[in-house]
Amino acid sequence: MRWILPLLISFSTLNAYEFALTPKRVTPEVTCFFGEPAAMDKNNNGNMVNTCYIDTKKSYVVIDSGSSYLYADAAYKAMQKIKPLPVELVINTHVHDDHWLGNGFFAQKGVMVLGSDDFIHNASIDSPSRIQTHISPEAYAMTIPTLPAETISSDRTLKIGEQELQLHLMARKAHSDKDLVVFLPKSKTLFAGDLVFNDRVPSLRDGDINGWIDALDDLKTLNAMTIIGGHGFRTDNKAADMTYHYLTDMRTQVRAAIAAGVGIDETIHKVQMPSYQDLKMYDTLHRGNVDAAYRMLEWE
């Protein structure tokens, strides 16, 4: 009878919080869960990131496992109601924890999780995680930070079921030290991770503005018809435009300020970029983005 209490505690914890995730069919073979264009907090409990399922006919491939064990569990259950396929592979686009803290759910099922070798150098499994400090304990329950079991250091092409998946690593630091994108040539669908934002301001906090712009220029050569970013709802072939224009406009203005001898504090105040002020998180992120851009560009 001693096993009953631990079982009840585990059952109670698992059911303490339920994500109300809504799957959206993006293409005939791709279904995604789109998070709020907001910072992680106790209101959204980490439902502020995009995760996607690719139907290969044989199995599912998951692009980014999400922000917690219970988030991944909820998305998986929703997909099983749509079509009961096993998950064969999870791909993490980069090391920011809102995109991969659901790995533990899939690892528990024996699913292979793959990411770039940046996880070896820059991903942290220390407790508490960034997500853990911002969402409720109930929503974070069962989450054990779990890094990819396999990492890659160069581009790779996979054939799973009826889908070819082209995995491309960015040549230099962009949104993160090593961003990974997934391209489906059959349908010209691009999973761009956090190289693409919509509906909210991008975050340059530990990226490189020049590398990010170069990465977006490189991705244009894929001629993707569907572009799914890490945050935001837009998925057409112009979905990368807002991020690209925001970064290039900022770079132009910051470079001009530096050339004119304007200091960093005045530049942060001066570079307001009003055409982006209606985006979510402008007030919390924009000044920090200008600060980060200035510190990079002043060394050119």
Residue 170 carries which DSSP code?
Answer: -
Reported as type and span, the H/E element at residue 265 is helix 264-270
pLDDT at 15: 53
What is the fold of 7-198+224-239? Metallo-beta-lactamase; Chain A (3.60.15)
Query: Is residue 128 helix, strand or coil?
Result: coil
Beta bridge partners of 285: none
Q: How far is CA 257 from its chain centroid?
A: 32
Average pLDDT over all residues of the chain: 94
CB-hemisphere CA count at 13 Å for 232? 28
- Residues 65-107 pLDDT 10s: 999 999 999 999 999 999 999 999 999 999 999 999 999 999 9
Residue 66 carries which DSSP code?
Answer: B
Count of Cβ atoms closer than 10 Å to residue 160 Cβ:
16
Task: Say yes or no to pLDDT of 16 above 70.
Answer: no
Query: Is residue 5 helix, strand or coil?
Result: helix
8 Å CB contact between 58 and 162: yes
- Residues 247-263 pLDDT 10s: 999 999 999 999 999 99
Residues 121, 126, 132: CA angle, nearest 5 degrees: 120
Structural domain boundaries in the chain: 7-198+224-239
pLDDT at 112: 98
Strand 87-91 relative to strand 60-63, pairing? parallel
8 Å CB contact between 138 and 105: no
Nearest to 218 by CA among 155, 150, 158: 155
Query: Is residue 137 helix, strand or coil?
Result: helix
Task: Say yes or no to pLDDT of 7 above 60.
Answer: no
Percent of the chain at pLDDT exceeding 70:
95
